Structure 1
Amino acid sequence: MNLLRKPKANPDQLSLDLFAIEPAAPAVVTPDPGPALPSPTEQTPLIVTPHPVVHAAPLPPTLLPDTPPSTRPADGRRRIVLGEHTLDYALLRSKRRTIGFLVSDEGLRVTAPKWVTLTEIDNAVREKQRWILTKLNEHRERSARRLQPQMQWCDGATLPYLGQDITLRIRSGQRAAVFLDEDTRELNVSLPAGAGEQQLKDRVQGWLQARAEELFGRRLLVYADKLGVTFRSFALSSATTQWGSCTADGRIRLNWRLMHFTLPLIDYVIAHELAHLREMNHGPQFWATVQSIFPEFAMAKKALRDSAPETLPVF
């Protein structure tokens, strides 16, 4: 899926983003400057401030265990040995007062004050190496999933439905009938002779949206009753950047593509949005409210965050 730039936040509406299940982080985050570092003349140990919220990025192609550590990259990036890894990183000097780390599509970038020595910067990277390598590996795995072959819309193709694969079976017929055989896990789609791929996708999408409207409506009532709140309206969403949203006047929207995931993940998003009827923020009291009706929220939040929307069927 092509992801659009996230719109500016509306104080009257909170949403659950596709990638940021925790309080939403922008694509590029400026690290908290933290406490000021003393000047080089003062005898105070260097303060290192890690980037507070970071989107993981793939390991750079030059991250090879057998690369001679003495070799410097030709593009001006610095190279450092972290255990069995040889890591290249970009160094940016600025007027900031702390050392900051940012992991992006280009790999690791370190921003440091002009007066901090290269040795001190390398030591700061070594100190945070576990965090850095974890973030790089997470995004490398996500990137690998994105490179998987896209779904072929044809008879015998499979797509995820409530966390399990179902198989598409094309049947000849003029009537627009779509039904799921629970025993065989086959989704039977009736199409006229000569129908193309787009017609098949349209039929499947229409069926998924109808099932989503039924399921989401039932689960909203369950969790609204648990929380003791009333929502004003509910509608499906086709947003490319949000799993759900809730306005201050109780209007809830849920992304129909949640039907690709298991019921606990769907329930988490529903509990999340309903909790905004109590707390229109993402503060500690909000998360306590979510936990009160969905105790397993932390596991569901992580699972949904780790899922790769790019691997879902493209409609």
Structure 2
Amino acid sequence: MSAPSSSTLPLEAVPKGGLLAGSLRRLQLRQAILEYTLRRSKRRTIGFLINEHGLRVTAPRWVTLADIESAIRDKEAWILSKLALRRERVAQAQAEQMRWEDGAQLPYLGGMLTLRLFAARRAAVSHDADAAELALHLPEGATEEKMKSLVKAWLQEQARHCYAARLPVFAERLGVSYRAFTLTSAKTQWGSCTSAGMIRLHWRLMHFAPEHIDYVIAHELAHLIEMNHSPRFWAVVASVFPDHAASRRVLREHGLTTLPPL
């Protein structure tokens, strides 16, 4: 699931039943890296289904994996276009659910922040943790895009502080050293780690509870010991984060399309 020099933690969702409902696989296509769920059945042909969880492939038990991947490549254009359409519809629905106005709710660290809008000569953001409010101070006539820009910048600043504090904790527990970390806006992964010790973490993890953020950090640092997703790798993760399965499930079921568009 990873190149020799780096490893990634995917954003793509899997069925609510988890891997028992089908095995999660990854395939390098011409245009993208595709994650899909493979289910075996008694049907006679290979079937493709695009739903809220991504691509599900159902194939007869006797069909080889090579034949399945060949069939996926043959339908690459159709699959990617349908996935893109699905993402657009989800994003549009999400955008309609959250109105950027006073009183809007923004997910943050597993809870909700209430947005409060105030007229001001200069744009600024202030956070009241006790009241669970995020105040946006904006000049008169500020657009929705300006509100989003302020919130995005604030979330990224919080992400830098959070990750800078938590990375050394798990690095010490694992007995590893990382070179540096950066924020990422990747569309297909929550984080990545290179063999050179560069850690990349998605800033939108700040929407999730602290334990899920810790899981991604532990996951990526564990790759400095095992640059793969073998049983040995998961044993390393479990040594510092025993309940990693619960966090994996949450992050797989809540991709970027379920978050407010920013």
TM-score for the superposition, normalised by structure 2:
0.73
2:183 aligns with: 236
Q: Percent identity?
A: 45
Q: CA deviation at 1:182?
A: 1.6
Once the two structures are superposed, the pairs formed by residues 181-220 of structure 1 within 5 Å of their partners are 181-220=128-167
Does the aligned pair in 2 maintain the 1:279–1:285 contact within 8 Å? yes
2:138 maps to a residue whose letter is L
Letter in 2 for 1:54: T
Question: Per the alignment, in what secondary structure is the counterpart of residue 26 of structure 1?
Answer: strand
Match of 2:206 among 259, 263, 274: 259
Aligned to 1:105: 50
* 5+ long unaligned stretches in structure 2: 30-35, 64-88
Q: Give the distance between the partners of 1:178 and 1:222, measured in 2 at CA.
A: 29
Q: Which residue of 2 aligns with 1:26?
A: 26
How many residue pairs get aligned? The number is 217
CA contact (8 A) 2:125 2:136 kept: yes
Per-residue deviation, residues 28-56 of structure 1 (Å, max 9, x unmatched)? 99xxxxxxxxxxxxxxxxxxxxxxx7269
> Is residue 223–residue 233 contact of structure 2 (8 Å, CA) maintained in 1?
yes
Q: Distance in 1 between matches of 2:109 and 2:185?
A: 17
> What amino acid does structure 1 have at the position aligned with 2:12?
F
* More helix, by proportion: 2
Q: Can you list the C-alpha shifts for 1:116-169, whole angstroms capped at 9, x where unaligned? A: xxxxxxxxxxxxxxxxxxxxxxxxxxx999956432112211110001111111
User: Secondary structure of the residue that 1:303 maps to in structure 2?
Assistant: helix
Rounded Cα–Cα distance in structure 2 between residues aligned with 1:112 and 1:300: 31
CA shift for structure 1 position 177: 2.0
- Letter of the 2:231 partner, please give it: P
Aligned-residue RMSD, C-alpha: 3.2
| Higher RCO (CA 8 Å, separation ≥ 6 residues) | 2
CA distance in 2, matches of 1:230, 1:113: 46
Indicate which of 8, 12, 16 corresponds to 2:5: 12
How many angstroms apart in 2 are the aligned matches of 1:112 and 1:284? 25
2:248 aligned counterpart, secondary structure: helix
Where do residues 155-304 of structure 1 align in structure 2 (5 Å cutoff)? Answer: 155-304=102-251
Offset at residue 299 of structure 1 (A): 1.4
State the SS of the aligned residue for 2:26.
Answer: coil
Corresponding letter in the other structure for 2:230: G
Larger Rg: 1
More strand by share: 2
SS at match of 1:154: coil
1:9-88 maps to which residues of 2 (within 5 A)? 10-19=3-12, 25-26=25-26, 54=37
Deviation at 1:175, TM superposition (A): 2.8
Paired with 1:156 and 1:215, the residues of 2 have a C-alpha distance of: 26
Residue identity in the other structure for 1:26: R
CA contact 1:160–1:260 (8 Å) conserved in 2: yes
**Residues 192 and 27 of structure 1: is their aligned pair in 2 closer, same or farther, counting only changes over 3 Å?**
farther
State the shift of 1:308 in Å. Answer: 3.9
**Cα deviation 1:196-225 (Å, max 9, x = unaligned):** 000000000000000000001100011001
Cα distance, 1:147–1:170 mapped onto 2, change above 3 Å? closer
Is the Cα contact below 8 Å between 2:124 and 2:137 reproduced in 1? yes
Q: Distance in 1 between matches of 2:5 and 2:148?
A: 35
